[in-house]
Chains A and B, each alone.
Chain A
Amino acid sequence: MHLTFESLRPDIRDLTHWKLVSSISTLIATAIALLAAVFVYMTFWLDAKSSMFALYPSSIAIDIAKILLTFMISLTYPLCLLACREILIVALMTTATAITTRATYKSRHPTIQESSEDDETTTLLRLESVEGTPSTCQRSWLLVGQERQLTRGYHVLITVSLWGVTLFLALVAPSFGDVLNLVGCAMGTGKITTQRPRLQCFASNSSLVLTAIAFILPAVFSFLLLGYNHKAAFILAVGCPVGILGTYFSFVKLVTDARGNKLSL
């Protein structure tokens, strides 16, 4: 959301124009979702399944649709990877900074006790006033003047590693359910087009992680920053139970199917 908001021209980067953008976008996305769902449902009725392309008989139209879907994913996957890469960089830099600043601070002020409530950022701020800033170590990893761009070697390493791990996990699909269990991520608000029942089970209609990002955290942050308000309470009251229950029942189905179909783990 923030990146899309920041992409607006400065003269229209305000809440009014943002609400217009979000309204139109949500409307278009909802219409697209309904179109896809309703026409598949009206073709197959109760026989409709999540693996949409498996329902239709083989034809040129279906092959073209699959190729188009692959093309779209080829453009979408890099966006996910970039977001994941930036998150990793921020996490690694924060951790590295905390470790080096604590070590540097303790070595320079061995008699001063750190407050038990000190967090990484407070330590960083304290050390900014100390000669020899804590960022010396991380600066060798980052491009000059950039906070989230690694030097070429590290950039390629982290990118290829992320790509390779996700590719490997996708290729060892018989264990996909376990992998998703381990990373704690059930996929979003739709279902994956796959012919593997174990993936169907896990690709539930709701996701605890996605629900947290979309509904729980915004509401909780609103309570913390603004105090109680009806909008945040409504979002939390509806989004939270649906997300948790949906994920729970999907997981129960996954376990049931795993036992019943003797899925390889």
Chain B
Amino acid sequence: MFTAPNRNNEGSSVLGAVFNLTKSIVGAGVTGLGGAFASSGGLISVLGILFFGLLSKLSFDLLIELSIGSTLPHQTSSYEALGYAAAGATGRNIVVICKGLYTFGSMVAYMVIVKDNFASAATHLIGRTSAGMNGKDSSIVQGILLDENASTILISTLVILPLCLMRDLKPLEKFSLTGILTILSVIAIVIYLYVTTDSRVHDSGYDSRATAAYVHWFQIRSGLVRR
């Protein structure tokens, strides 16, 4: 979704496009799905993810199929062009508004994630290695990192803003695979913690294993739906 447009005869292979599209689909939100499982139920959540994955794939294919079949001069130029072909200026404007709101909301949410996670992690890591620093240096650095707002401003100014000032995404295309490997690394850490954490602490109070299995996997909970 966010790959730079190809304006010449060069282009990605199928594998390159797979990495780009996968990176576009997978976001930081996958780390919060465990809570959704707890709210809704194990098996029903698994089936839900599978179902909506399939539905999304059908939708992706439908969009491209419509764009290829459209009679616009730039057939596959954009979602906005497709909206214009289907419903004129109204269709284009609706697409523009939805995309604008979604991307803006995503940007705010990403900043919140940086704020919630970077400061605490950096503080802990700096604290663990502060034996190599003298007391004054470590306290200044920790002082900055302890403040969520200061550390967020720091990393967004030094790292994020320079990347944002680029005019196109070609330099970032190379990082699609890096992004996927990063999220896989996070998942590997989650799996490692599963193996090393005693989950029986959170798995008590059931009469039998059968009851526990039912509650964990087969029970469908109301979640956000009020009875």
Contacts and interface: CB of A to CB of B under 8 A. Distances in A.
Residue among A1, A19, A200, A242 facing the most chain B CB atoms (10 A cut-off): A1
A239 B29 contact: no
Contacts of A32: 26, 30, 180, 183-184, 187
B121 A67 contact: yes
Nearest to A35: B187
B161 interface: yes
A170 B55 CA distance: 32
6 tightest CB-CB pairs across the interface, nearest first? A190-B29, A40-B34, A185-B105, A191-B32, A170-B111, A50-B35
B96 A87 contact: yes
A63 B117 CA distance: 8
B28 A193 contact: yes
Interface residues of A, number: 148
A156 B95 CA distance: 25
Contacts of A163: 156, 160-161, 164
A48 B223 CA distance: 13
Given A25-B22, A72-B183, A91 B96 contact: yes
A36 interface: yes
Nearest to A28: B22
Interface string B86-129: 11110100111011111111111111111111101110110010
B200 to A, nearest CB: 10
Contacts of B68: 14-15
Nearest to A83: B103
A159 B86 contact: no
A226 B71 CA distance: 12
Given A66-B118, A69-B113, A218-B63, A37 B30 contact: yes
Contact of A76 (B59, B60, B179): B179
B12 interface: yes
Interface in A116-150: 119-121, 149
29 contacts: A8-B12, A22-B64, A28-B18, A28-B22, A28-B26, A32-B184, A36-B30, A39-B191, A44-B34, A48-B38, A49-B38, A52-B32, A56-B197, A67-B121, A73-B28, A78-B164, A78-B172, A83-B2, A160-B161, A162-B107, A170-B115, A173-B112, A183-B108, A187-B105, A193-B28, A209-B105, A213-B95, A231-B58, A253-B224
Chain B binding surface, main DSSP class: helix
Q: Is the interface of A mostly helix, strand, loop or mixed?
A: helix
Contact of A75 (B179, B189, B197): B179
Interface string B1-30: 111111001111110111011111111111
A58 to B, nearest CB: 6
A203 to B, nearest CB: 7
Given A41-B42, A50-B32, A51-B35, A65 B190 contact: yes
B62 interface: yes
B103 to A, nearest CB: 4
A73 B11 contact: no
A183 B99 CA distance: 12
A191 B203 CA distance: 23
Nearest to B184: A32
Contact of A218 (B11, B66, B122): B66
A22 B57 contact: yes
A71 B182 contact: yes
B46 interface: yes
Contacts of A2: 63-64, 67, 76-79, 82
B216 to A, nearest CB: 6
